[in-house]
Structure 1
């Protein structure tokens, strides 16, 4: 597994609660669910390099 980049994330507590509940429904941690959502959004926007899309 590739090394992960750490950074602080400031987020509205109400939004965090929504994400926490959603992550629980998907059997993911909040962190992995946020990463999943960001990955899907970058793919949809055409911002993810082709090579990275193929690896997943």
Structure 2
């Protein structure tokens, strides 16, 4: 009986770990997406400034 309880506890902890892992990956993906957008904007701003100045 003790072994069955340990197995259930292990399954619960794996499930909780999986949820935490999923949340951490989702947060990392969101951060990476924002970082990529920042680099795109940083690269595009000089071109926009030049085009506006030439107009």
Q: Which interval holds the TM-score relative to the shorter structure? A: 0.3 to 0.5
Q: Determine which structure has greater relative contact order: mean sequence separation of CA pairs < 8 Å that are 6+ residues apart, divided by chain length.
A: 1
Q: Which has the higher helix share?
A: 2
